[in-house]
Structure 1
């Protein structure tokens, strides 16, 4: 089994064509690029170039706005953040002035979102320099350091406050009426390893692809490809859900944004049951974690135990932990009390049933894990029933940095008739493109016609691939390896 795909691949021999489409023809589609004023900044209608990727799949290269922001220096608070409460910020301001520099106290209001109230904080800023004068800002950082003050160079276009742009955006619109392909997900070479979107797209012979959800950068290095949230590939659960987190459920050529739950239970031959706490991730204390052949790494080499089961559920081995997962098998790894359960109920030659349930929490119904079902974990919900509904706190992203500051974004939305909209907004490139904050991202997706929309992973992960080519400008300067990808497949 090729772990490069983790999704059914079909052969593809399609060329991209750039076309000029009459307005009347474009208006006939069930999903279309809006003609109204660009929703970010103060610019009018954006410039756009249309590329026909395949029947029912259109790619728009969108540019809007112009550069008007500058560089400044943000002085850090004792907490290490660039903002704090007023009293703290005033104290830092006084230290800057005592060092002989002129500083400004900036009040910043982080807007309220659906599940978190607004927040007012204060920043201390020094200087204002044009784009070509960044070196002067860097020199100020050095001067402040000599005075015992920590600071950093900041581009004001990243603040999330007023800006005129510019914005470089790629928007892919997939018409539910005319698209004859399908959607899939891929975890690349393995669950544990990160892989490039372009590599996943090429291996699966996809028409196009974008990066998927967040992956776990807070675990050991060789496991950092693990999705943070639910992952289903070709009907197989490869990562458990994070309670309440948005997800994209793909089935054939349909896509649905919802919240899901996952429950995995090990049922021994003697009827005893134990919850499986995780799938294809590091094991915590007193946990039972299941590893599949797609894991791509060894089970934890700890004081626990491994039980190997074959495709029928028969226990074919009880072993010390820290070994590979053989093809055609799964491994239940226990720590603490979970090890004791395995020892008592999963002896060699007995059987273990693994009961897996995936539930759509909006529909309150089970999702049957057939081979055409794929799930990608989203992050922050942006739009629900056509209205802005940003669920940042629920998804652990209710900070100033995540809600207000601008970053590159990968966004996914569905329209009233089930068409799919995928957009990447490039950012972190002063004078070229500023990205978007959550409020702007929701506004942008509503402008495009999304009735439901979710924020996928962003920052340096934001990548869109068409054919074998990366068509946006990743902010790292090169394409980053990510945890998973959404694939747009041909027939």
Structure 2
């Protein structure tokens, strides 16, 4: 992996920012905004057919923010977008590694995730994301309850089920993916309330597959629908289903990889009581799907809450905390994507969620979502000649943070 920038580019950025503050000239384009300030282009370069990279500067009340932008033309038949992940839902890798392994020409980090567990002694964070995830049409996971999520305060009406997705029609859109599933037993059907997620609803039953990975499933029974820090449930059960029949029973969720084709059911409270009625050898059938609100099924989806709708910032966005941000916007009726990450160099002013919504609207987004920020914010591109993946922004922690997923851009030109 090629490291970002260097001393020359760092000095150039400082000089350009100084020019903006003093009203001096600036090479490159400038776009006027409704507020009277400008988005000033520092540099731009084609990455691949249908994909372009741009650096820009923009004023915020605390100073000059430095951003990195990938513009993706979904109308170009050579271009596709997909979710990158490290082979398991409960696992993490740096964005640059995820992009290099899949051959992506560009990528930004994805959803917020279960990053810490200080409130549950002895329980390790899973690294699994908050929201639904679909990669290449494959359902990876469903959303945790709203009260269990990590990340900034969502605006009114938003939920962990909110996603940015691209349908089989090659058009991007905001959507909401709900889990619909059933566990069929000889005593009758049971509702399925989870799929490969780090937190289950109270009284619920969740399904875990080989896609979950080897991480412990204990975290799924901790907290409540409204309080992430609530104690872990003392009433739990786990059932392993193999070839359509109960193969193992346990009182507590386990850990370790799940064999291909097996299903592990985890229950808490009433869900646990229902699972305990099963016996070894009982027939069990599990079915599930993620149901969206749009007319075309999604081939790709990543969790994130809306910050722009109908070309305007969403009402009720937080305007308090300013930090490094990542977002993805949709333009031109779903034909364009704008992947944006702020620079995390020490001293950068960052943005509030409200300012992020305003920025994404100015960049041309008709709709946009906020993705994980802070130390997770990472934007990478692949050099068309050397094929090396370069981190374009400076992650605020000084190095890339491993993340559970990323939005990957591919161009086959």
TM range, normalised to the smaller chain? Answer: 0.7 to 0.9
Distance 1:44 1:335, change over 3 A: closer
| 1:406 paired to 2:329 | no
Structure-1 residue corresponding to 2:281: 348
1:208-238 CA deviation, whole Å, 9 max, x = no partner?
1110011123446643411112222332142
Structure-1 residue corresponding to 2:223: none
1:373-431 CA deviation, whole Å, 9 max, x = no partner?
2221103x221111221454xxxxx4xxxx2332111111111232111111224621x
Q: Distance in 2 between matches of 1:319 and 1:445?
A: 49
How does 1:172-191 map onto structure 2 within 5 Å?
Answer: 172-178=70-76, 180-191=78-89
| 1:36 paired to 2:31 | yes
Give the one of 84, 89, 98 matched to 1:200. Answer: 98
Which residues of structure 1 form unaligned runs of 5+? 1-32, 66-159, 393-397
| 1:62 paired to 2:56 | yes
SS of 2:130's equivalent in the other structure is coil
TM-score (norm 1): 0.63
How does 1:463-482 map onto structure 2 within 5 Å?
Answer: 463-467=378-382, 468-482=389-403
Distance 1:177 1:425, change over 3 A: same
Could you tell which deviates more after superposition, 332-341 or 455-464?
A: 332-341
Instruction: Tell me the C-alpha RMSD between the 2 structures.
Output: 2.9
Kindly indicate whether the alpha-carbon contact (under 8 Å) linking 1:183 and 1:251 is maintained by their aligned counterparts in 2: no
Structure-2 residue corresponding to 1:384: 309
SS of 1:375's equivalent in the other structure is strand
Structure-2 residue corresponding to 1:19: none
1:141-194 CA deviation, whole Å, 9 max, x = no partner?
xxxxxxxxxxxxxxxxxxx7x33x222211111123325121111332422222
Deviation at 1:55, TM superposition (A): 0.6
Structure-2 residue corresponding to 1:446: 361
Deviation at 1:300, TM superposition (A): 2.8
Q: Distance in 2 between matches of 1:463 and 1:224?
A: 21
Q: Distance in 2 between matches of 1:284 and 1:387?
A: 33
Pair member with larger Rg: 1
Structure-2 residue corresponding to 1:231: 133
Structure-2 residue corresponding to 1:214: 112
Structure-2 residue corresponding to 1:333: 266
Structure-2 residue corresponding to 1:484: 405
Give the one of 239, 247, 263 matched to 1:307. Answer: 239
Q: Distance in 2 between matches of 1:45 and 1:336?
A: 53
Distance 1:174 1:256, change over 3 A: same
Q: Distance in 2 between matches of 1:469 and 1:45?
A: 24
Matched positions, count: 342
Which residues of structure 2 form unaligned runs of 5+? 1-27, 147-157, 220-233, 383-388
Kindly indicate whether the alpha-carbon contact (under 8 Å) linking 1:211 and 1:486 is maintained by their aligned counterparts in 2: yes
Kindly indicate whether the alpha-carbon contact (under 8 Å) linking 1:212 and 1:376 is maintained by their aligned counterparts in 2: yes
Greater relative CO, 1 or 2 (CA 8 Å, sep 6+): 2
Kindly indicate whether the alpha-carbon contact (under 8 Å) linking 2:70 and 2:339 is maintained by their aligned counterparts in 1: yes
